[in-house]
């Protein structure tokens, strides 16, 4: 084989290698990018958790210390910890708490385009045991866990965007 044939063979091998790398990169981009984007949205949704934790503490304290005969919405006023210095993320539109302590977080779909006006709600519901939600008559009971992201409680956000700490 002469010198020009060796150079041509080397050029072909190089071009084939570049084409193979390009093909693998294109396939990887096509299949990995959506997963990366979902993980990014999930991380952004997770930024609301410090505000939610602040409300959970307030609710648990109010339930255990109240002298009222039943729980009511007026017992649970929470600003997401803003008054205590908790940073409120731009994705958080509002926090509402029901008369039985369920925290309903509404995400701002304009700041987080992956959610829509009909898929932007995430709920956290207090549990008094493994299967029962906190009820209006459950004064001075201990909240043992929180159910997070359950459609039964009003969550509309896509399950793939739930924070890892949510076990719906």
80 located within any domain: yes
What is the rounded CA–CA span in Å between residue 131 and residue 14? 63
69 located within any domain: yes
23 located within any domain: no
113 located within any domain: yes
The model's pLDDT over 21-73, given as tens digits with 9 standing for 90+, comes to: 766 666 655 555 566 677 788 888 888 999 999 999 999 999 999 999 999 99
31 located within any domain: no
Q: From start to end of the chain, where are the E strands?
A: 92-97, 103-107, 121-127, 145-148
Total domain count, the chain: 1
13 located within any domain: no
CATH, residue 59: 3.30.700
Give the range of the structural domain holding residue 86, as residue numbers without chain letter: 44-161
4 located within any domain: no
pTM: 0.78
What is the rounded CA–CA span in Å between residue 133 and residue 127? 4
The model's pLDDT over 66-111, given as tens digits with 9 standing for 90+, comes to: 999 999 998 988 888 777 777 788 889 999 999 999 999 999 999 8
37 located within any domain: no
């Amino acid at each position: 084989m002469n010198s020009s044939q060796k150079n041509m063979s080397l050029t072909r091998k190089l071009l084939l290698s570049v084409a193979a790398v390009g093909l693998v990169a294109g396939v990887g981009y096509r299949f990995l990018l959506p997963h990366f984007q979902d993980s990014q949205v999930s991380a952004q949704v997770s930024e609301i958790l410090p505000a939610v934790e602040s409300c959970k503490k307030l609710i648990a304290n109010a339930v255990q210390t109240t002298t009222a005969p039943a729980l009511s919405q007026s017992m649970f006023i929470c600003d997401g910890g803003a008054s205590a210095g908790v940073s409120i993320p731009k994705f958080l539109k509002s926090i509402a708490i029901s008369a039985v302590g369920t925290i309903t977080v509404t995400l701002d779909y304009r700041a987080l385009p992956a959610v829509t006006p009909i898929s932007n709600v995430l709920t956290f519901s207090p549990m008094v045991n493994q299967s029962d939600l906190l009820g209006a008559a459950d004064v001075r009971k201990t909240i043992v866990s929180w159910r997070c992201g359950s459609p039964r409680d009003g969550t509309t956000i896509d399950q793939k965007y739930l924070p890892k700490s949510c076990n719906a």
